[in-house]
Amino acid sequence: MAGQARGNVTVDVEECKGCGLCVESCPPKCLELLPELNAYGAHPAHYTGHDCSGCGICFYCCPEPGAITVYRLKTKTKAPAPALAQEAGGDHAAAL
């Protein structure tokens, strides 16, 4: 499913046990299992690099604490006034 990415995901390949729950649960299907094996002999999950919405479903279904981290992109907001304007958009918000 194509769309503008609103999130980003990183996977610690040595913490991932390759269960595939995140891959199956991701609505836009932007996660996959790598063909390579990690130190535990598992195929770790990998973000394809596009279409993440930042929904966090993969984070909540992952059984391995620390294996997957989700970042939400800051949404662009209208600048209230020049004196109070803050830079917005493009940076990563706090991780889940």
Residues at the contact surface with ligand SF4, assessed by CB under 6 A: 7, 9, 11, 16-22, 26-28, 30-31, 45, 52-58, 61-64, 67-68, 70
Residue 41 Cβ vs ligand SF4, minimum distance, rounded to whole Å: 13
Residue 83 Cβ vs ligand SF4, minimum distance, rounded to whole Å: 36
Contact (CB, 8 A) for 8 and 47: yes
How far is the C-alpha of 4 from the C-alpha of 53, rounded, in Å? 8
Residue 39 Cβ vs ligand SF4, minimum distance, rounded to whole Å: 14
Alpha-helix residue ranges (DSSP H) falling in 1-96: 21-25, 57-61
Q: Which residue, 87 or 91, has its beta carbon nearer to ligand SF4?
A: 91
Strand partners, 47: 31
